[in-house]
Amino acid sequence: MITALRRKLAGDKDGPSQSGPNAGNLPSGFANHQQNSGSMPRGVQRCDQELQRKYARGVQYNMKLVIRGDRNVGKSCLLKRLQGFPFQEEYVATDEIQVANIHWNYKATDDVVKVDVWDIVDQSTKKRIKNDKLKLSNTVAKTDGEEWEDAACDARFVDVYKGAHGAIFMLDITKQWTWDYVQKAINTVPEHIPVLIVANHRDMGHHRQVTDLQISSFVDLFNK
What is the tens place of the pLDDT at every residue in 63-121?
A: 999 999 999 999 999 999 998 888 877 888 888 899 998 888 777 777 778 899 999 99
Question: What are 104's strand-pairing partners?
Answer: 113
User: What pLDDT does residue 24 have?
Assistant: 45
**pTM metric for this prediction:** 0.67
Q: Does 138 map to a domain?
A: no
Q: Does 68 map to a domain?
A: yes
Cα–Cα distance for residue pair 16/63, rounded to 1 Å: 5
Cα–Cα distance for residue pair 47/44, rounded to 1 Å: 9
In total, how many domains does the chain have?
Answer: 1
Contact between 194 and 9 under an 8 Å Cβ cutoff? The reply is no
CA dihedral sign of residues 176, 177, 179, 183:
positive
Q: Select from 159, 177, 194, 166 the least CA-distant residue to 69.
A: 177
Helix (H) or strand (E) holding 114: strand 113-119
Q: Does 198 map to a domain?
A: yes
Q: Of the given ranges (21-25, 141-145, 150-154, 174-178), which has the lowest mean pLDDT?
A: 21-25
Domain region containing 163: 2-9+27-130+146-221
Find how far residue 1's CA is from the centre of its chain. Answer: 16
3-state secondary structure of 43: coil
What is the tens place of the pLDDT at every residue in 29-67?
A: 444 444 444 555 555 566 667 666 766 767 778 899 999
Question: Which contacts of 207-212 are long-range, i.e. CB under 8 A and separated by 24 or more positions?
Answer: 207/174, 208/173, 208/174, 209/173, 209/174, 209/175, 209/176, 209/179, 210/171, 210/173, 210/174, 210/175, 210/176, 210/178, 210/179
Cα–Cα distance for residue pair 44/169, rounded to 1 Å: 21
Q: Select from 178, 68, 177 the least CA-distant residue to 78.
A: 68
Q: What is the CATH number of the domain that holds 196?
A: 3.40.50.300
Q: Does 202 map to a domain?
A: yes
Q: Does 57 map to a domain?
A: yes
Kindly state the average pLDDT of the residues 152-162: 90
Contact between 170 and 78 under an 8 Å Cβ cutoff? The reply is yes
Full strand arrangement of the beta sheet holding 195-200: 98-104, 113-119, 61-69, 166-172, 195-200
Q: Does 69 map to a domain?
A: yes
Q: Does 174 map to a domain?
A: yes
Q: DSSP assignment, residue 219? A: H
Q: Does 16 map to a domain?
A: no
